[in-house]
Amino acid sequence: MSQQAVLLDISQIGNLMTDQPEKTIDSPATVQDLRNMGIAIDANFVVIRSEAKTESALLRSEMSTGFAKVRDEFAKLRTSAAYSLGVLLLAIIAIGISLGGLIISQS
């Protein structure tokens, strides 16, 4: 839930508290009035809390997907590095064999 939506909910709670009929504006609040306001406030916080849980679950899912992509990239990088190292070792062996053949043929 966006901050703007939370502020809208809070303003609606304020309206519940201030929008009283004219005859009861100056009269003290009854226990039932306070309970009704508490129920309205609690209901809004339940909605906010459930939306926060949903957004948190979505964020965790996106993070999990992102980490899986990073793991895959590292695996590709390791494979590529191992392949490059293998090619380099074969080149060194080939050079060594060529140089060995030159040394033998010159002696």
Domain carrying residue 64:
3-106
Whole-angstrom distance, CA of residue 45 vs CA of residue 39: 10
Residue 69: the pLDDT is 92
What are the residue ranges in the chain where pLDDT is below 50? none
Residue 29: the pLDDT is 65
For the whole model, what pTM was predicted? 0.41
Contacts of 16 (CB under 8 A, 6+ apart): 36, 37, 40
Residue 73: the pLDDT is 92
Contacts of 10 (CB under 8 A, 6+ apart): 44
Residue 16: the pLDDT is 58
Number of domains, the chain: 1
Residue 15: the pLDDT is 59
